[in-house]
Structure formats: C-alpha cells, structure tokens
Amino acid sequence: MLSNEIKEKLISIVTKENFADSKTERLVYSYDATPNFQSMPDAVVSPRNTAEVSEILKLCNQYKFPIVPRGSGTNLCAGTCPTEGGVVLLFKHMNKILEIDEENLTITVQPGVVTLDMIHAIEEKGLFYPPDPSSMKISTIGGNINENSGGLRGLKYGVTRDYVIGLKAVLPNGDIIATGGKLAKDVAGYDLTRLFVGSEGTLVVITEATLKLIPMPETRKTMLALYQDLGAAAQSVSKIIASKIIPTTLEFLDQPTLKVVEDFAQIGLPTNVQAVLLIEQDGPPEVVERDMEKIAEVCKQENAVSIQVAATEEEADALRTARRAALSAIARLKPTTILEDATVPRSEIANMVKAINEITEKYQLTICTFGHAGDGNLHPTCATDARDHEEMERVEKAFAEIFEKAIELGGTITGEHGVGAMKAPYLEWKLKAEGIAAMKAIKQAFDPNNIMNPGKVFAKDSKKRVVITR
C-alpha cells in the first residue's frame, strides 16, 4: 500500500483524474496476457508528458517503490504484471504520432500509440514499417519497443530493434536523455538505443521514439504449401533460404493448429495434412513472380502435396488472418493457453519440431505448434487448465525440456516474447552465470534501488536444468 504522503505527491504530479487506486481499477491492471500471473498494483497513474514521468520516477526512487510501465498488456512473458506491487504507469495520454518525416523516412511517436494505427498512418504516405506482432491491433509501440517485438515479416525485414533509431527516455533518477536521432548512422558512445529496446521496462521509461521507415514494397504474393510430412516442411524452409531467396514471411502451422484455426475461422484451411507453410514475398512484381515460382519448385522437390497461391488480396488476407488467429483459436480449447517461443537456428527447425512432438507425447499434453519457421522461431502452444495442478506440473516439465532442447540446438529460450517474470528462471540456461552477472551489472548501474519493473528478466532463483531422457 502506498502511504497517503506518496499518494498525495503522485496526485500533485498527474492530477486526481489521472490517479487511481480503487480495488476495481487496480484489479484491471493486476495481470496481462500471460496466464497464471496476477498481482495487485498499489496504484495506477497516467502521466501526460515526459516531465511528469520524470517527476514520478524521482518519487519512486526516493521512496523505493516499484514502477511498472505498461502499454496494452498483450505481452506473453508476464512482463507487465506488477509482481511486486507498486505503481502501474499508463500511456493513454501519451499516444500521439508526433511527426512523419517523408524526407528522412522516419516517424516520431509517443509510446501509447497503437501499433496498427501507426502502421496505417505510415502506409497512407506510401511508406512501410515492417514489424507486425500478432497483437498489433491492440499492442502499443511502447510495448513493442520494450519487448523488441517480432512478427510475421521478421525473416526479411527484422524486428522492432532494427527500426528504432532514436529514443527519449527517463532514467530511474529522473534524468531525461535522448539517444540517436533521425540518423542513418551514429556511433557517438555506447548504443543506448538498442540497449533500451527489449529491456522490458527494467532500465528506463521510454517516452518518445523515432523509427526508421522504408518505401512500401510494390506488390505482395501469398502461397500455401501443404505437407504430409513435418520434416519435409521444415526441410523446405532451409532449402528456400539456401537457394538464396529471403521471403517476407515463412510461417509454419502443424495439423493440430490447422484444425483449431479452421474450426475457429472457417476459411477452408486444409485440415487433412500434417503441416502447412504460409509463404509470402513482396517487392517489385517481376521479382515476386520469379521468387514465388522458385519457392514453389523447392516445395515440390521437398514433397509438398499441394501448392496454392492466393488469387486475390482478400484470399491472402484471410490466410494471414488465420495465422494471426492461431493463439485465439487455441485459446478456445481449454481454459488456460500457454504459448512459448523457443527459437533455434533455422537449420534445426526439423529437429526442434520433432523434439516438441516427442515431448508432447511423453507428457500426454495438447500442444499445437506454429510460428515463424524462417526465423527458427516456433510457438509450441499448450491448451491446458491452470486448475489441474497435476497437468500443470507436466506442462511445466514439458516446456522446461523444450527450452533445454532449443539451447542444445544452439537456440534460445525466447525469440520475440521476452523474458519477463515467466521465463526469468530459465534465463541462466541460455546465458550462464557469467552472462547473467554482466546483465545484472547493467541493471544495477541504471537502477540501484531496483524500482524499475522489479522481478522481470532476473529471477531470484534459476531453475535446475532437467535431464533429458529419451
């Protein structure tokens, strides 16, 4: 609980209407999109500008209470769950597009802008911002930056980090700093811009961002390749890229995913095949045409049983929407949905899918696997019930084995969802004690009082490694 003194001081910064601490309002911000994590904040505040954020942080730092910056809470790593209480910081007033600069190809935004709204504004100018996380209809750009969000176009175009070129950020001591700028190149000191991207609100509060834009690709084509063999689908992914084509999108959906998505979206997806690749290419028409032909050839060589090219943009959009709906569709199966994002080198996709299937079998679970195959970034997603403690124990063991396998294959515990509170206990598996120590030193340097989204990234205890026995 915040003392009356702190409460009064917070109100004096943001005004009464931007402060809330009723039980109902606190409850709303006690959880995010991550199942099984809930914790009540002490208050919710909505600053109107960077100066107010600075004042709030000074106060938090003085009284050593936690601050949890939050966009729309769509993250899947319990990154915005106020696990240690404190103040949730909302950006509902700081939600403006400040400028689209068509000469320098940049956009400058406040953190509260909804990603898709921003993308629409950009596309109206004939420009392109590639990162398109599946939650983009609801997510905010501030959330995307803090989590370094990926999306379906990451294979060709990279992730959020690759587009952030300048930030305004508030340090825990209230200092306001500006990093980068409308600059294609800047090596003036350490790369704080990229350090802050993906730092999950544990170092600074970002209050403004300048993003790089690129010209809108002229055209786009979408293809579905169907397989009766998982290995063949995975092999196609490697072969396409080894043949020196980088498609915009190279998504994988296994049969269990196809079934639930079709059941949900009813768009005529094939459910009698083992796996589907959703492949897109964009660019100049001649190039797209040629690439799609080559891709189709590779898929055929790798024993795709059918290859369908979307005839219209509507048809293509339905396929993309179906892919984006995978999480919602699986969520209908059972009360609890746990979506993971273990990531491996692209060449190991076949081995990873095989391992996920074996682990699913071993623990007798319902796991649908889909994801960004071109990035080696899979989303094994478990439909379960948090109230069934016995099953939840099996779920946890299964995911621990999945993480371990990913690391064994040269991969990582999270490709695009972040560590948050959920994966913090596993971080040491990837980074070793020395890597964690290096990161903790940075955290300590910025935030000695540990007020910035505490309990995220760094765990009190690391999970013991399981021993994989097969």
Residues numbered 313-342 forming contacts with its own copies, rule: CB under 8 A: none
Q: Which of 28, 33, 17, 144 is nearest to 93 (CA)?
A: 17
- Based on CB atoms, which residue is closest to its own copies, 19 or 458? 458
Q: Is 345 exposed, middle or buried (0-12, 13-18, 19+ CB in 10 A)?
A: middle
Within 366-395, the residues that bind its own copies by CB under 8 A are 372, 374-377
Options 187, 266, 387, 464; binder of its own copies; rule CB under 8 A = 187
Residues with Cβ within 8 Å of 393's Cβ and at least 6 positions away in sequence, in order, are none
Shortest distance, position 285 Cβ to its own copies, whole Å: 9
Q: Which residue do the tokens 């889909």 mark?
A: 370
CB-based contacts of 428: which residues, under 8 Å, 6+ apart? Answer: 435, 436, 459, 462
What are the structure tokens assigned to 195, written together? Answer: 């350090």
Among 304, 309, 282, which residue's Cα sits nearest to residue 224? 309
Nearer to its own copies, 321 or 444 (CB): 444
- Shortest distance, position 249 Cβ to its own copies, whole Å: 13
298: Cα separation from own chain's centroid: 30
468: contact with its own copies by CB under 8 A: no
For its own copies, which is the closer residue by CB, 182 or 300? 182
Instruction: Starting at the earlier edge strand, list the strands of the sheet with 367-372.
Output: 306-309, 219-227, 275-283, 249-254, 367-372, 377-384, 336-339
Question: Can residue 354 be called a binding residue for its own copies (CB under 8 A)?
Answer: no
Find the part of the chain contacting its own copies (CB under 8 A) among 299-307, 331-339, 356-364, 435-443: 435-443
Binders in 295-314 for its own copies, by CB under 8 A: none
Q: Which of 4, 16, 17, 215: binder of its own copies (CB under 8 A)?
A: 215
Q: Which of 366, 427, 371, 363 is nearest to 398 (CA)?
A: 363
- Of these, 41, 112, 411, 454, which contacts its own copies (CB under 8 A)? 411
Tokens (6 digits) for 389: 């403690």
Binding status of residue 347 toward its own copies by CB under 8 A: yes
Measured distance CA(109)–CA(207) in Å, rounded:
9
Of 223 and 245, nearer to its own copies (C-beta) is 245
CA angle at residue 179 from 79 to 70, to 5 degrees?
Answer: 20
Question: Given the complex with its own copies, which of 140 and 377 has the nearer CB atom?
Answer: 377
1 touches its own copies (CB under 8 A): no
| Site stretch for its own copies (CB under 8 A), options 59-67, 194-202, 259-267, 293-301 | 194-202
The Cα 104–Cα 392 span in angstroms is 51
Residue with tokens 């076949």: 350
- Closer to its own copies by CB, 189 or 387: give it: 189
Strand blocks (E) in 230-303: 249-254, 275-283
The answer to the question of residue 242 lying near its own copies (CB under 8 A) is: yes
Smallest separation, CB 419 to its own copies (Å): 6
Among 11, 97, 307, 431, binds its own copies (CB under 8 A): 431
Which residue lies nearer to its own copies by CB, 68 or 413? 413
Query: 64, exposed or middle or buried, with CB in 10 Å at 0-12, 13-18, 19+?
Result: exposed
Note whether 134 binds its own copies by CB under 8 A.
no
In the region spanning residues 255 to 294, those forming contacts with its own copies, defined by CB under 8 A, are 283-284, 286-287, 290
Beta carbon of residue 20, minimum distance to its own copies (angstroms, whole number): 31
Q: Mark 96-115 with x for binding to its own copies (rule: CB under 8 A) and - for no binding.
A: -----xxxxx----------
Q: Does 452 bind its own copies (CB under 8 A)?
A: no
Q: Which CB, 335 or 448, lies closer to its own copies?
A: 448
Pick between residue 234 and residue 260 the one whose CB is nearest to its own copies.
234
Q: Which is nearer to its own copies, 112 or 374 (CB)?
A: 374
CA distance linking residue 60 with residue 445, whole number of Å: 17
Q: Which tokens sit at 179?
A: 């990093």
In the window 142-161, what residues touch its own copies (CB under 8 A)? 147-148, 150, 154-155, 159, 161
Number of residues that bind its own copies (CB under 8 A): 90
Q: Which stretch binds its own copies (CB under 8 A): 41-49, 61-69, 191-199, 360-368?
A: 191-199
Q: How far is the CB of 103 from its own copies (least distance, A)?
A: 4
Q: Is 183 in the site for its own copies (CB under 8 A)?
A: yes
Give the nearer residue to its own copies in terms of CB position, either 52 or 375: 375
Which residues ranging from 51 to 80 are in contact with its own copies (CB under 8 A)? none
141 part of the interface to its own copies, by CB under 8 A:
no
Q: Reduced to 3 states, what is the DSSP secondary structure of residue 238? A: helix
Residues 398-408 as b/e (b if ≥16 CB within 10 A, e otherwise) read: bbbbbbbbbbe
Which residue from 189, 304, 197 is spatially nearest to 240, judged by alpha carbons? 304
The least distance separating its own copies from the CB of residue 468, rounded to whole angstroms, comes to 20
Residue with tokens 């009284």: 63
Kindly give the pairing relationship between strand 43-45 and strand 87-90: parallel
